[in-house]
Amino acid sequence: MLKLEKRPQPSRSWTYLTPLLAVVITMIVGGALFSLMGNNPVEVIRTIFWDPLFGEFAFYYRPQMLVKGAPLILIAIGLSLGFRAGIWNIGAEGQYIIGAITGAAVGLAFYPMESWIIFPLMVLAGALGGWAWAMIPAILKTRFGTNEILVSLMLVYVAEQLLAKMALGALKNPDGFGFPGSRNFQQYPSGHNAEIIAGSGMHWGVVAAFIAVIFAYVLLNRHILGYHIRLTGQAPRAARFAGVRPTRLILFCLGASGALAGLAGMFEVSGPAGQINIDFNVGYGFTAIIVAFLGRLHPVGILLAGLLMALTYIGGEIAQSNLGLPAAAIQMFQGMLLFFLLAVDLLTNYRIRLAKAEAA
């Protein structure tokens, strides 16, 4: 008989091994699913994990991984700060939208003027927009004790309505024949978040994501604020005695994650997406929650998890169009990844023991 035994300390080695194990199990079970659907499982797995990196068109897919991964990493880094302290910002999608709107609005206000100052101003506006949107649940929580999970989540839907309003009204392209959607930043050099080196996928959002990873690492490991965050998550009472002021911490964690999500939205709207439109947001803010946990709330882990997630997206798309797999099968495959990660997490906190059946 198998028996679970709680470990006195979470196992360090399993902490690092479980994500890899989860990926392997996902490949095996996913492969079985694909073969049940009549595909060659090895071919599908190779298409998803190998082709984007080393296949014949890797020169295109590798940069695309950065494009797809950057917003996930940027948002997940912000979320991880709060999650570590037990502050749950579920509404990053909304902050992402608002950051895109404010960033784009500032850029479009200057159209068609050309100046180097415009893009930095847009960056600032994007961060501020996301920050302000996150301040709503933060202040409601610190002032009135409302639940930040609910408030931040509900504000996503408000942000979506605002997005539609902007795409149809204030930010609508005057030369767009009445169709919704703003001007395209790809045709406005001063506001365009272009690739820094053409064909590399490296736009300013990717740079920002890398900077955020480094910053978060330093903050969590070398700074008193990072210590407070970790302490609050692990032992709230002890944190109180250690002089942590919860109000400040809430404002900081929600504000920082909002600002980073806003930045992600701003870089996306001015770069890969190009324009504000009704369906501009595609769920990065929610997927980033998965990325944050997949990366163990650790900055480097998040970096790797974001890239892995991007890989499954891009590989999944290739599998769809080359092998004719339905989109739902790919989504299931991605879902499995999180599912198995949570499942094998058990090994971090528990030991599996072979127990002899005891006589009654």
Residues that bind other proteins (CB under 8 A): 56-57, 59-60, 64, 67-68, 160, 164-165, 168-169, 172, 177-180, 184, 186, 268, 272-275, 277-280, 282, 314, 317-318, 320-322, 324, 326-328
Longest dimension (CA), the chain: 85
Rounded to a whole number of angstroms, the minimum distance from the CB of residue 178 to other proteins is 4
Rounded to a whole number of angstroms, the minimum distance from the CB of residue 201 to other proteins is 11
What the block records as the tokens of 293 is 């946990």
Look at the block and give the residue holding tokens 């994990």.
49
314 Cβ contact list (under 8 Å, min separation 6) = 52, 61, 64, 65, 68
Look at the block and give the residue holding tokens 């989109």.
327
108: part of which helix (H) or strand (E)? helix 92-110
Roughly what angle, to the nearest 10 degrees, separates helices 204-222 and 299-323? 150
Closer by beta carbon to other proteins, 34 or else 252: 34
Closer by beta carbon to other proteins, 2 or else 198: 198
Rounded to a whole number of angstroms, the minimum distance from the CB of residue 355 to other proteins is 47
Whether 162 and 98 have beta carbons less than 8 Å apart is answered as yes
What the block records as the tokens of 27 is 């490949």
Whether 167 and 182 have beta carbons less than 8 Å apart is answered as yes
Rounded to a whole number of angstroms, the minimum distance from the CB of residue 163 to other proteins is 9
Helix, strand or coil for residue 43?
helix
Closer by beta carbon to other proteins, 9 or else 321: 321
Closer by beta carbon to other proteins, 83 or else 204: 204
Closer by beta carbon to other proteins, 262 or else 316: 316
Helix, strand or coil for residue 5?
strand
Closer by beta carbon to other proteins, 52 or else 301: 52
Rounded to a whole number of angstroms, the minimum distance from the CB of residue 1 to other proteins is 44
Whether 84 and 229 have beta carbons less than 8 Å apart is answered as yes
DSSP 7: -
Rounded to a whole number of angstroms, the minimum distance from the CB of residue 65 to other proteins is 10
